[in-house]
Amino acid sequence: MSSHQVLAGFHAVIARLRHAPGSIRELYVEASRRDKRMQTFIEQAQAANIRVHPVAAERLDGLARGTRHQGVVALAEAHPLAADVDEVLDWLEDKPEPALFLILDGVTDPHNLGACLRTADAAGVHAVIAPRDKAVGLNTTVQRVASGAAETVPYIMVTNLARTMRQLKERDVWLVGTDDQAASTIHQVDGRRAMAWVMGAEGEGMRRLTRETCDELVHIPMLGSVESLNVSVASAVCLYETLRQRRS
């Protein structure tokens, strides 16, 4: 992953201002925008001692590289929240809640990853894990779609996903994969234990080794005519089933 990031849009930049203002190197705003939202944002940046550079919209378009920027673009250093799963699990040892992970096997669509991160934040996921070679990183589009969740949920990209899954199992994290052909449903999973939901890529599903490494396979009940759900929607359904169980 690159050591520098381009953050575009109010949500992504404000989240970085809130959580790691020192990582922002340059902050650009559209010079022609003088509305209240922009003025409030500029005041927030100045309060964090960050210089704001008013520039033409065309300059922002070039910096954002095709991502909708709303008149705000920041150049920042990468801000990883956790180095690996052991760091997350060590942090959780003294916490009352059991671990909850989301493993994404080969999600390459930045809009899907951004939506997954946003849902993960809302459902209290402790980290999202993905393979380094077949997944999208935290690019500008992901940061924008995540609406700030990329600053709160660790996104850990690993060299060998199956090995990381076995590492989680060794630390008593139960791995539950979603498979349309599984006999059990998501409602039969015990979500009150330390666990990870394992979701497959768009269209292809989980790879064979990923599926074989899971402790349990379940399906999402589908009552209509469509055969499957988008990975971000499926993640939301599964995560909130876990949240429902833990809250009850």
Residue range 33-62: average pLDDT?
A: 92
Q: Is 70 exceeded by the pLDDT of residue 141? A: yes
Burial 84-121 (b: 16+ CB within 10 A, else e): ebeebbeebeeeeebbbbbbbbbbebbebbbbbbbbbb
Separation in Å, CA 228 to CA 59, 142, 180, 208, 225: 41, 23, 8, 19, 9
Residue 214 binned pLDDT confidence (cut-offs 50, 70, 90):
very high
Token pair recorded at residue 96: 């009352």
Cβ 73 vs Cβ 148: under 8 Å = no
Q: Tell me whether residue 229 is annotated as binding.
A: yes
User: pLDDT per residue over 145-155, tens digit each?
Assistant: 888 888 889 99
Cβ 151 vs Cβ 79: under 8 Å = yes
Q: Tell me whether residue 200 is annotated as binding.
A: yes
Q: Tell me whether residue 220 is annotated as binding.
A: yes
Q: Is 50 exceeded by the pLDDT of residue 1? A: no
Beta bridge partners of 197: 102, 176
User: pLDDT per residue over 35-44, tens digit each?
Assistant: 999 999 999 9
Separation CA 89–CA 161 (nearest Å): 17
Ordered by where they begin, the domains of the chain are 4-77 (3.30.1330.30), 85-247 (3.40.1280.10)
Residue range 15-41: average pLDDT?
A: 90
CA atoms within 13 A on the CB side of 11: 15
User: pLDDT per residue over 167-212, tens digit each?
Assistant: 999 999 999 999 988 999 999 999 999 999 999 987 778 999 999 9
Identity of the amino acid at 62: G
